[in-house]
Structure 1
Amino acid sequence: MSDALVTDLYEVTMALSYLREGMTAPATFSLFVRKPPPERGFLVAAGLASALDHLTELRVDETDVAAFAEVMERPYTELEPLLGLRFTGEVRAVPEGRVFLPGEPLLEVTAPLPQAQFVESYLLNQVCHQSAVASKAARCVLAADGRPVVDFSLRRTQGVPAGAQAARLGALVGFAGTSNVAAAHAYALRAVGTMAHSYVEAFGDEAAAFLAFTRAHPGPVTFLVDTYDTARGVAVAARVLRESGLHEGCAVRLDSGDLGALAVTARRILDEAGLPGVRITASGGLDEYGIDRLVRSGAPIDLFAVGTLVGVSADAPYLDAAYKLVAYDGQPMMKLSTGKVTAPGAKQVFRGPGLADTIALRDEPAPAGTAPLLRTVMAGGERTSPPGTLAEARAAFAADLALLPPSARRIRSPQLPTAAVSERLAELTADVRRRIERRIRGAR
């Protein structure tokens, strides 16, 4: 199936109508998040690379037109105006890994109206999902307070591509590794993992299982110790590690029960066995809230493995994002729907110290002490530079994270910074609103 078909039907019907009506003048659409999910003090921009890949490769060919005609139950000739549609426009976007705030455009597309409209669904799909997961994962790194966090989410993500994205996004915000072998290979990440309870059960005896594991994997190894009785499992693991001479980099993993209390017990058993260097890993239903609770309690846990709750951003699995027309054929456009009013005109975001952001019109000069956040990443339908690297995105995130005020970094009840609106943008918004309202009154 061509990626040109990965769109909502109304994108096809609108693009077809625009083409039939000759409405092909340049249009600017702005993609932004209306309001943040609960308990988010910041959001992380992600998904730009896959969005740009789609725009670069988009071509509507005869097979696509035939598919549109089939699903719409219309003759091929009626859909033929779509043949050859590709993206020839410009994209300005917040770079991957940067922190952004609600109301700020994550990206702006300027292209002939049918093209700019046609790509809406795919762009929202990529940017919203990946930004939601990256924002959740970033909070896990904050909660861990310097302890490593790794990704165990593949088995529960909504599809294999989402699992790969979760692994990459975790790495973007500072995760130390992933259990996803394909993602580790594709993105040069550290592959991490232990064993399943089924492995221990298959041997019928923890000592036999742990010894067999050391024979297959000379080290460092991590033993899963809670298949039967956790304290006993830790003691067995300590004996096997001591007798095998495997100490450096080895660990035991706790996956159930009261992780804080069990970590205290495990640490005591390991220390008494003369194994102070053996680490304790915790997993099992963890996200930033669970990690924060354990860290604050002083639990002697050295590494956190997060899976389902983070890979699907369980408490906030979507972003309330929109892709709205803000200019067409040289004229500013806006929407006045109740609760969904949009600001007209192509925009820029100027960032000051401490994430003091100002949303302004694109052609406004930068206020003193600020820098523009959106960059031109596509022109004439082509990338303006090679795709950014994961290392670059990671560095961008780390730099922005350091600028966040402590109130925004809190895990519980964070305070989200608010972007200001420039005077010129506020004036344009009021002017366009008045013109629309006058036109509506005149039409009655």
Structure 2
Amino acid sequence: MTQHLNSLGKSALLILSNTIIVLPFMIFIQIAKGTSLLALLPFLLFYTFRMTGVFFIRGIKTRINSYSLLKISLYAGLLGCLLGFMGSFYFPFYTLSGILLGVSAAWLPMSNTSVNYYLKNTNQLIKGKTLVSLLLFLALGFSFVLSPSLKYPLFFVFYGIVYLLSFQLVGNLDNYKVDPNDLEKASYKYLILFALFFVCLFLLRSSRLLANSLEFDYFIFGFFFLVILYIVATNFFKNKIQRNIPRKLSYLTAINGAVGNYLFLFCSLYVAGFYGHQHLFLQFYLPYVLGIVFASKVKNLLGNNVKTYSLIGIFLGLLLIVFSPLFALGLFLTSLFKGSLNSSLTQDYESTVNIVEDKRIWVKYTIQNIGSILHQFLLMLLGSLIIMKNGLSIKTLFVITSTPIPTARSIELMKSWNLIATSLIILIIIAYLIYPKIVSLLKKSK
């Protein structure tokens, strides 16, 4: 009986790890229907904490290990669901819910991965049930087709139940032990990154939802400042923990973050602007989730060249995304092979011996989030350039991506944005694949 309950808890935890980023995002952005900052705060705070939480936890002085962080993220998420349910009756509760679920989204996936690595090494790993996971995925997704009066409270109730089920497994892991030397020391550098990324992301998302072009200008200046800061950081902190991993692995991790941001952010905006908000479930959520569910199965079929084949698979998926009638299929393939790539990268970090064992996955998520955030800034910059090239204002971009029903103008602009945004990711992947060969040829020519 206990084994079955633990397996159910494992399935629930798998659901949370793979949906905590996308499902609350889709809920809070639908809740943010007003034009005031107060109406938008739940979504803004969820999103910014989700993206920057890893920098905060690595920047404060704490002795928290991955197991403790997993429990904290589960408690935060459960309380966030409770407050989200109460927000259906009193809106300010949504703001607190957004903060707590954002914190949970930032910490739960990486801490859960670290704990799974520990359990695997100690022969305690419990397998979840794929069918149960798939049914829970679909049940949660089904709540999005309901009317708003039912959708919001039922989602937070269902999601809260998934959090409760996860405690069944986590509560039985009290024997998790970490060597005191494996507890990473704090670094003020991460707090600086947390503050800067938080402010820039907040300005970006609020400017889009409030249609405020002045805030977008602040974001543009902030973006270039962050690029300069990142270049300086990578050159002057070469002996820090991120520099203890191979440069090739670091670059591929950043690309993984960029592809994840492309799937999560651009594809959701594209579906909203091209197909309409009512098609988010079928055109975005369903192919995205199915790709995640079957990624581990596909990875086992790719043999020893998982990374190369995954990048090729992502490349093919991106080509299909450019052709709108095949968008959902392309999204599924990109999500599928991105999941395989992510799993392979996780294995690489788990075996990196010159990083403390409990924090190896934390390092992966740090680099991954930097790639994701930098790609996001560049993505919105490209979107603004497309708008201005067509003789329109930045405000038009915000209106197009926020309007529930697509127009002829939004469809045409989304086609242009799709071509450029997808081409950007394709070029990044091609550059990564051919760069070693170019370097090798240059060395031989000498």
**Shorter-chain TM band:** under 0.3
The structure with the greater share of residues assigned to strand is: 1
TM-score normalised to structure 2 length: 0.28
Q: Which has the higher helix share?
A: 2
Larger radius of gyration between Structure 1 and Structure 2? 1
